Amino acid sequence: MKRRILAYFMRMLTAAVALTTVLMTLVTYGMFERRMIEDLSVDAQVLHPLLDSSDAGRVMDELNGALRVTIIGEDGVVRYDNCSDASRMDNHLNRPEVAQALKTGEGSDVRDSQTMDTSTFYYATRLEDGSVLRVAKEASSIFSIYLNALPLILLVMAMMIAVSFFAAHLLTDRLVDPIRRLTADMDGEHSAASYPELQPFMRTIRSQHEEILKSADMRVEFTANVSHELKTPLTSISGYAELIESGMAQGEQAQRFAGEIHKSANRLLTLINDIIKLSQMDAPEHRIEREVVDLGQIAEGTVNQLRISAEKMNVTLTTDVKPGLVSADKGMMEELIYNLCDNAIRYNVRGGSVRVEVRPVRERVLLVVQDTGIGIGREHQERVFERFYRVDKSRSKATGGTGLGLAIVKHIAAQHDANITMESEPGSGTTITVSFERVTR
Ligand code: ADP
């Protein structure tokens, strides 16, 4: 990060210095050029009256080459030059300043020398007799000015680089410091006092951190609960087996104890099955295999598996299902419907009833499981979806409950983006509705 900021700074500063140097020189040199031409025009004005006077020769000597003076005829032939032999000079008709002077009365031009290190400034003015008076001066070219300024420019750049090093260092520290503080102290309050651009990031990190902590807590709690739940049936298995082993239970009693062992073993199996289901669904790589299924058809099939246990409990089981297509994992749908109906039967009263309904409503397909059972008090309604939460532990256990059924239901619904609503009144019954997104084939 520091290196990137530094590189960025350097690029920016180098560009800024280079651009400023070029622009400044261009502007200054432009001004200098105009000044030179103006000066030359004044020189020409001063020289002009002297040309025909007797002083002309002395003036030229005094100039001593500092100012080049040339007189060119209308035809371009050089008539006089104070620096070279006029007769050997070529026709000047094509020189821009001369051509311009012949045309408009005055003209100027700047030409670089072959070595590029000097420039010659020319100013020409037309005289009354039609000939042209041209004055010229040499000066450093813009190129050589750059060349001369190069050490200075390099020095400035070096200073800029030093400044960027310092600034990049400072800036990176400022940028990174709140993050460093957050890392060191996730729950601390002072890291909130960083700059506003970082706030969303801080919030996300902190809430993720909280989530991780929460889920770790939940896992610890779940493990503790599981161990506890497994312990009870195992203790009774061990106890009954010991009694049989020692010969203390015999005949009919031994048979009864074996039955208890059998029951506890079955309990363990259902419990472990539920735990496996939940942990499979919890696994990050778990993917549900969706297909378009008819929830009505699945409900019908699942309800039929429960007819015997409904009869045993003396509960009437009725269905009212219409076709309702949803995109879902078929096995999970069976599991969800089974758990809801199983509860509706187990927490019912003798002579009560359970009604299972599937019905498409606009864009949704509703699964409604309604019972006339014992109901759930308001204070328990949220919590019954938690793992191992039971309102009446002994009733749950007596009917083969694990305390995981509704947790599995909630999990499956969440993975299918389905909503669960519960209405319940202790003593009159419970209605649980799961709403799925409807699909059309
Ligand atoms: P369990 O295996 O104990 O039935 P669940 O997770 O399925 O566990 O349900 C949690 C608790 O919610 C149950 O122990 C019971 O107290 C209550 N419950 C669930 N469904 C019903 C229902 N239809 N009527 C009354 N109570 C219910």
Distance (angstroms) between ligand 1 centre and the Cα of 343 equals 6
Q: What's the gap in Å between 105 CA and the centre of ligand 1?
A: 111
Q: What is the pLDDT of residue 190?
A: 54
Is the pLDDT reported for residue 191 higher than 80? no
Exposure class string for 244-267: b at 16+ Cβ within 10 A, else e: beeeebeeeeeeebeebbeebeeb
Residues of the chain with pLDDT > 70, as a percent, come to 98
Atom of ligand 1 nearest to the CA of 408: 6
User: Is residue 401 predicted with pLDDT exceeding 60?
Assistant: yes
CB 243 within 8 A of CB 249: yes
User: What CA–CA distance (Å, rounded) separates 178 from 199?
Assistant: 10
Of all protein residues, the one whose alpha carbon is nearest to atom 7 of ligand 1 is 405
Amino acid at 369: V
Q: Please identify, by atom number, the ligand 1 atom nearest to the C-alpha of residue 406.
A: 6
Q: Please state the rounded mean pLDDT for residues 72-82.
A: 92
Return the ligand 1 atom nearest residue 393 CA. 14
Over residues 217-244, mean pLDDT: 93
Distance 335 CA to ligand 1 centre (A): 15
pLDDT higher than threshold 90 for residue 376: yes
From the CA of 421, how far away is ligand 1's center (Å)?
15
Using the mean position of ligand 1's atoms as its centre, give its distance from the Cα of residue 403 in Å: 7
In whole angstroms, what is the distance from residue 17 CA to residue 39 CA? 32
Report the mean per-residue pLDDT for the chain.
90
Between CA 158 and CA 165, with CA 164 as vertex, the angle to 5 degrees is 95
Predicted TM-score (pTM) of the model is 0.64
- For the stretch 16-65, pLDDT in tens is 888 988 898 889 888 989 999 999 999 999 988 888 777 788 888 888 77
Say which residue, 282 or 332, is predicted with more confidence.
Answer: 332
Q: Which whole number is the average pLDDT over 331-339?
A: 97
User: Which pLDDT score, from 0 to 100, does residue 225 have?
Assistant: 92
CA 8 to each of CA 13, 166, 175, 254: distance values in angstroms, whole numbers, following the listed order: 9, 13, 15, 86
Q: How confident is the model at residue 195 (pLDDT cuts 50, 70, 90)?
A: confident
pLDDT of residue 433: 98
Query: CA 408 → CA 104, 276, 289, 371, distances in Å?
Result: 100, 11, 17, 20
Mean pLDDT, residues 172-200 taken together:
76
Residue of 355, 384, 412 to test ligand 1 pocket, by largest number of atoms within 8 Å of CB: 384
Pocket probe for ligand 1: among 317, 338, 390, the residue whose CB has the most ligand atoms within 8 Å is: 390
pLDDT bucket at 351, cuts 50 / 70 / 90: very high
- 155-167 average pLDDT score: 85
Over residues 121-149, mean pLDDT: 89
Q: Assess whether pLDDT exceeds 70 at residue 188.
A: no
Mean pLDDT, range 330-337, rounded to an integer: 96
Q: Counting atoms of ligand 1 from 1, which one is nearest the CA of 348? A: 24
- pLDDT of residue 211 exceeding 60: yes
Spell out which residues line ligand 1, taking CB within 6 angstroms: 339, 343-344, 347, 371, 373-376, 384, 389-392, 396, 401-407, 430
Mean pLDDT of 132-158: 86
pLDDT of 264 over the 70 cut: yes
In percent, the amount of the chain with pLDDT more than 90 equals 61
- Note the pLDDT of residue 189: 60
